[in-house]
Chains A and B, each alone.
Chain A
Amino acid sequence: MIRKTCDVVIVGSGFAGLSAADILAERGLRVLLLDENLHLGGQLLRSPPWSGKRSSAGGIMGYGFRLIGRIKSQPIEVLNRTNVLDIDERGMLLVEREERMISVASKMLLLATGARERFMPFKGWTLPGVISTGAAQILMKSYGVLPSKRMLIAGIGPLLLAVAGEFLKNGGRLLSVLDMGGAREKFLLLTRGIQQFSKVTEGIVESAQVFLARVPYHLRTMVVEARGGPGLSAVVAAKIGKDGSLLKGTEMIYRTDSLALGHGFVPNIELAQLAGCAIDHDGGKGGWVVRVGEDLQTSEDRVFAAGEITGIGGALKSMDEGRLAAFGILNKLGREVDPKRLIHLKRQRNRHLRFGILFNNLHRMPDQAFLSIPGEVTICRCEDVKMADVTRAVKDGYDTPAALKRALRIGMGNCQGRICAPLVYDILSALKKTTAKEFPPFSVRSPVKPVAIRSFLS
């Protein structure tokens, strides 16, 4: 076992982790930055290694790439491709890297573990050829590869347009964009989000790209079925009413071998849970989130959290939270912090947070959408649990996430519920006509992600 010590260890090198690392290192603290990916930058800051345009990119992305450049020139220790397996009661991290264990001790811990994608299942959603919009983005942005020459994009919210724009830019033929949301949400976002000028303009630029390419953009439309075998060959979509129920007779069929799905994001709170941090459920923040104070400290004394894990809110929120967390940590370590900057940052962060809540609330999937999932649809991919199994078990009284897990093995597979857990919470609350707040989420135990047994033996 390799042992490391530092002043601050940061888990995650997205906007939040990078922003914090930058400030902390500048103030002379020994920072260890861990990320599970090969490259710094998290889910948003991706670009093919051969691309020369990174630092010349405009807006927040350009800022992010320049930030990565700065981090690389600072005396920060960066460990990529790490798998943080555990955080114990003393705040010690157990990290696996290249099948070896590293134990990390630090004065302070910052969790900036980001978010993962949420899914709305339908018949055939597990067919090869059905991918997430995130996967499509990775293929295009990190590797310069199109998922397919012809693609259909479906899900909810304006982020679908971002993927659509990227796909068109790379020369793909986009069949259509299907959005479960309606025009009302778009209008509200435009008017109320006006202070978030950059986000709104980005949204307009992307929509313009889609419209200029004459791609049909269908609102209040969802995928009902993916057909094919073994791979995807066709997608059936239909219109939905305001409550999320399907409107019969509105079905459309698309011939395609590629479908990208985007139904929003779920905070990656598992490591924070292991560290003993308190969590709250807030639909406006994307579900279960880590509870933080204004200085981004969690309920645990030496543990801070920043970015999507405190509430889904996008890059700007993550960046400001990373900075605030850095100042919180400095303050905690007895270093001086400029109070004026702090006030400004807090105000800015709250604005982003409010926008995030507005955004998330406008793009929440209605209960009816979960209730109308047909019985034969797979909910837990790892253990092959169907919707009918879930409804039957709930009727039999197994009506908490933990009880469902024991009764059906749901969430017991290789992904340990990372994909199905948020879905299970939503289905349960829809079936029980209550909020997911009522149900404690699945318990978390080390390792948070699968790890080679061999790594423990060296």
Chain B
Amino acid sequence: MIVIGGGVIGASVAYYLSKKKIGVLLLERSDFASGTSGACDGMIFMQSKKPGLHLALALKSRRIFEDLPEKLGSDIELRRNGGMIIFRSDLELKAMAPFMEEQKRGNLGVSLLDLHQARELEPCLGPNIAAATFCPLDAQVNPLCLTYAFLKAAKRHGAKLFARTPVTGFHVKGNRIYAVVTPQNVVATRSVVNAAGVFASQVGDLLSLTIPVAPRRGQLLVTEVLPPILTRCLLSARYIAAKYDPALAEGQNPGFSIEQTGNGNFLLGSTREFVGFDKRTTRDAIRTILMEVTPILPRLKEAHLIRTFAGLRPYTPDGLPILGKVSTPEGFIMAAGHEGDGIALSPITGQLIAELIADGKTSISLEPFSLERFIPKEPS
């Protein structure tokens, strides 16, 4: 088995495969966790997932997280404190009502809080919010630690990991992949998992396969270390809405995310922009994010900004990842396109892909996640 991509998804796939005693070779074009997984926040949010398939997948993943630190044998800074969605106005509350109505069927245990109740949970919240919802299942993790923990555990189970080893081509015979080409080697293999994240479509190009994954930039700000003042991650209602409605994202304010990391720094986000592979940050975005988050958490006005960075999220047109076998060529399996959900969905993705390869069937049907969903159906 060859896994392309040393981000959180590739690492998880390698881990679950090697746990099933399948020999894995993981090839990473640059350094491990050097792409999206090394430039993101660590939120594992359930409330932000679209009710239905997406949420079901996320919930399953969330359950795996429960004993993941023990299984991986590393500290991944998992904190199970729940998360809050912040509504700035009644208008936002109204706009999100159908989403929340559907969510109720997901058994998330979401409760709607007024300002007073929200500030009881998080005393540092400012007075300018209309309402909040709380979900005890939301959690957070250190994405770098998580990726490295998957890699380390995979290595322990016999997986071989190679950094700075890009895949430059495939050997296909008939309709079947039988080797992967790197600048140093040609490696024979029966199947390949494309976990190349934002580069998934470039890997597809090598096989003349159209994979609609595009980089979508998210800028994040880092503050100096502050004393622990925020227990739960915060997301704005608008930020969620923006994911499913690009028109909202392109507007002035795509919403915000606020997280205090285990280390004490605040991670403040974010944007959703299509600017190719440009990872620079912009002064407009920095200002917009700060204007958004400071009324929510006024304490931040007293803090210093120490860094900004941007990550590229692997966007797909319908907001769902692309998972499972492609119809052609045989032996090519997709595990990419998680946009901002890669961290949250990494355990379940790895598990499902390992099931698919080892057992030939999966505990959740991967059909709705297939690449083929993007191929326009021929009129019969």
Q: Does B189 lie at the interface of the complex (its beta carbon under 8 Å from any beta carbon of A)?
A: no
Tell me the minimal C-beta distance from A97 to chain B in angstroms: 15
Of B31, B33, B300, B307, the contact of A447 (CB 8 Å cutoff) = B307
Q: What is the CA–CA distance of A446 and B285 in the complex, to the nearest angstrom?
A: 12
Tell me the minimal C-beta distance from B67 to chain A in angstroms: 24
Q: Does A407 lie at the interface of the complex (its beta carbon under 8 Å from any beta carbon of B)?
A: yes
Contact A451 B305 (CB under 8 A): yes
In the bound complex, residues from chain B placing their C-beta under 8 Å from that of A397 are: 32, 161, 163
In the bound complex, residues from chain A placing their C-beta under 8 Å from that of B281 are: 445-446
Tell me the minimal C-beta distance from A5 to chain B in angstroms: 17
Contact A457 B283 (CB under 8 A): no
Q: What is the CA–CA distance of A445 and B291 in the complex, to the nearest angstrom?
A: 20
Q: What is the CA–CA distance of A413 and B290 in the complex, to the nearest angstrom?
A: 20
In the bound complex, residues from chain A placing their C-beta under 8 Å from that of B182 are: none
In the bound complex, residues from chain B placing their C-beta under 8 Å from that of A416 are: 306-307
Known: A403-B34, A456-B286. A447 touches B144 (CB 8 A): no
Most chain A CB within a 10 A radius of its CB, from B161, B303, B306? B306
Q: What is the CA–CA distance of A403 and B38 in the complex, to the nearest angstrom?
A: 10
Q: Does A164 lie at the interface of the complex (its beta carbon under 8 Å from any beta carbon of B)?
A: no
Contact B306 A414 (CB under 8 A): yes
Known: A400-B31, A406-B144, A445-B309. A453 touches B283 (CB 8 A): no
Q: What is the CA–CA distance of A413 and B224 in the complex, to the nearest angstrom?
A: 7
Q: What is the CA–CA distance of A445 and B285 in the complex, to the nearest angstrom?
A: 13
Residue of B nearest to A400 (CB): B31
Contact B291 A457 (CB under 8 A): yes
Q: Does A86 lie at the interface of the complex (its beta carbon under 8 Å from any beta carbon of B)?
A: yes
In the bound complex, residues from chain A placing their C-beta under 8 Å from that of B111 are: none
Q: What is the CA–CA distance of A456 and B163 in the complex, to the nearest angstrom?
A: 39
Tell me the minimal C-beta distance from B376 to chain A in angstroms: 38
Contact A402 B34 (CB under 8 A): yes
Size category of the A interface is: 20 to 34
Of A406, A443, A453, the contact of B223 (CB 8 Å cutoff) = A453
Of A86, A450, A457, the contact of B224 (CB 8 Å cutoff) = A450
Q: What is the CA–CA distance of A400 and B28 in the complex, to the nearest angstrom?
A: 14
* In the complex, number of A-B residue pairs with CB atoms less than 8 Å apart: 78
Tell me the minimal C-beta distance from B306 to chain A in angstroms: 5
Question: What is the 8 Å Cβ interface bit string for chain B, positions 294-328, against chain A (1 contact, 0 not)?
Answer: 10000011111111110000000000000000000
Question: What is the 8 Å Cβ interface bit string for chain A, positions 402-414, against chain B (1 contact, 0 not)?
Answer: 1100110100111
Residue of B nearest to A411 (CB): B307
Of A86, A400, A406, A443, the contact of B283 (CB 8 Å cutoff) = A86
Question: What is the 8 Å Cβ interface bit string for chain A, positions 396-432, against chain B (1 contact, 0 not)?
Answer: 0110101100110100111010000000000000000
Size category of the B interface is: 20 to 34
Contact B307 A403 (CB under 8 A): no
Tell me the minimal C-beta distance from B299 to chain A in angstroms: 10
Q: Does A251 lie at the interface of the complex (its beta carbon under 8 Å from any beta carbon of B)?
A: no
Known: A94-B283, A406-B144, A407-B144. A451 touches B304 (CB 8 A): yes
In the bound complex, residues from chain B placing their C-beta under 8 Å from that of A86 are: 283
Residue of B nearest to A403 (CB): B31
Residue of A nearest to B222 (CB): A412
Tell me the minimal C-beta distance from B322 to chain A in angstroms: 26
Contact A406 B38 (CB under 8 A): yes
Tell me the minimal C-beta distance from A271 to chain B in angstroms: 14
Tell me the minimal C-beta distance from B290 to chain A in angstroms: 5
Of B32, B225, B300, B309, the contact of A453 (CB 8 Å cutoff) = B300
Contact B301 A403 (CB under 8 A): no
Residue of A nearest to B291 (CB): A457
Contact B301 A450 (CB under 8 A): no
Tell me the minimal C-beta distance from B52 to chain A in angstroms: 34
Q: Does A452 lie at the interface of the complex (its beta carbon under 8 Å from any beta carbon of B)?
A: yes
Question: Which parts of B27-56 form the interface with A (CB within 8 Å)?
Answer: 31-34, 38
In the bound complex, residues from chain B placing their C-beta under 8 Å from that of A94 are: 283
Known: A409-B263, A447-B307. A453 touches B301 (CB 8 A): yes
Question: What is the 8 Å Cβ interface bit string for chain A, positions 55-88, against chain B (1 contact, 0 not)?
Answer: 0000000000000000000000000000001101
In the bound complex, residues from chain B placing their C-beta under 8 Å from that of A406 are: 31-34, 38, 144
Q: What is the CA–CA distance of A88 and B287 in the complex, to the nearest angstrom?
A: 15
Q: Does A433 lie at the interface of the complex (its beta carbon under 8 Å from any beta carbon of B)?
A: no
In the bound complex, residues from chain B placing their C-beta under 8 Å from that of A402 are: 31, 34
In the bound complex, residues from chain A placing their C-beta under 8 Å from that of B31 are: 398, 400, 402-403, 406
Q: What is the CA–CA distance of A450 and B306 in the complex, to the nearest angstrom?
A: 4
Question: Which parts of A359-396 form the interface with B (CB within 8 Å)?
Answer: none
Contact A88 B304 (CB under 8 A): no
Q: Does A248 lie at the interface of the complex (its beta carbon under 8 Å from any beta carbon of B)?
A: no
Question: What is the 8 Å Cβ interface bit string for chain B, positions 245-284, against chain A (1 contact, 0 not)?
Answer: 0000000000000000001000000000000000011110
Q: Does B148 lie at the interface of the complex (its beta carbon under 8 Å from any beta carbon of A)?
A: yes
Question: Which parts of B224-243 form the interface with A (CB within 8 Å)?
Answer: 224-225
Known: A406-B33, A409-B263, A445-B308. A453 touches B38 (CB 8 A): no
Residue of B nearest to A409 (CB): B263
Known: A403-B34, A453-B301. A446 touches B163 (CB 8 A): no
Tell me the minimal C-beta distance from B146 to chain A in angstroms: 12
Q: Does A344 lie at the interface of the complex (its beta carbon under 8 Å from any beta carbon of B)?
A: no
Known: A397-B163, A446-B283. A453 touches B303 (CB 8 A): yes
Contact A454 B33 (CB under 8 A): no
Residue of A nearest to B39 (CB): A406
Contact B304 A446 (CB under 8 A): no
Residue of A nearest to B265 (CB): A412
Most chain B CB within a 10 A radius of its CB, from A94, A407, A412, A456? A456
In the bound complex, residues from chain B placing their C-beta under 8 Å from that of A85 are: 283
Contact A446 B32 (CB under 8 A): no
Contact B290 A453 (CB under 8 A): yes
Contact A447 B305 (CB under 8 A): yes
Residue of A nearest to B268 (CB): A453
In the bound complex, residues from chain A placing their C-beta under 8 Å from that of B308 are: 445-447
In the bound complex, residues from chain B placing their C-beta under 8 Å from that of A452 are: 303-305
Tell me the minimal C-beta distance from B288 to chain A in angstroms: 10
Residue of B nearest to A447 (CB): B305
In the bound complex, residues from chain A placing their C-beta under 8 Å from that of B163 are: 397, 403
Residue of A nearest to B161 (CB): A397
Q: What is the CA–CA distance of A412 and B144 in the complex, to the nearest angstrom?
A: 13
Most chain B CB within a 10 A radius of its CB, from A400, A406, A412, A450? A406
Q: What is the CA–CA distance of A380 and B303 in the complex, to the nearest angstrom?
A: 22
Tell me the minimal C-beta distance from A171 to chain B in angstroms: 38
Residue of A nearest to B37 (CB): A406
Q: What is the CA–CA distance of A414 and B305 in the complex, to the nearest angstrom?
A: 9
**Further contacts, 13 of them, CB under 8 A, given A406-B31, A406-B38, A456-B286:** A94-B283, A400-B31, A402-B31, A409-B263, A445-B281, A447-B305, A451-B304, A451-B305, A453-B290, A453-B301, A453-B304, A454-B301, A457-B291
A-B contact pairs, 23 of them (CB 8 A): A88-B283, A94-B283, A403-B31, A403-B32, A403-B163, A406-B34, A416-B306, A443-B309, A445-B281, A446-B283, A446-B308, A447-B305, A450-B304, A450-B305, A451-B304, A452-B305, A453-B302, A453-B304, A453-B305, A454-B302, A456-B290, A456-B305, A457-B301
List chain A positions with a Cβ less than 8 A from chain B. 85-86, 88, 94, 397-398, 400, 402-403, 406-407, 409, 412-414, 416, 443, 445-447, 450-454, 456-457
List 6 A-B pairs, minimum CB-CB distance, nearest first. A403-B31, A450-B304, A456-B290, A450-B306, A445-B308, A406-B38
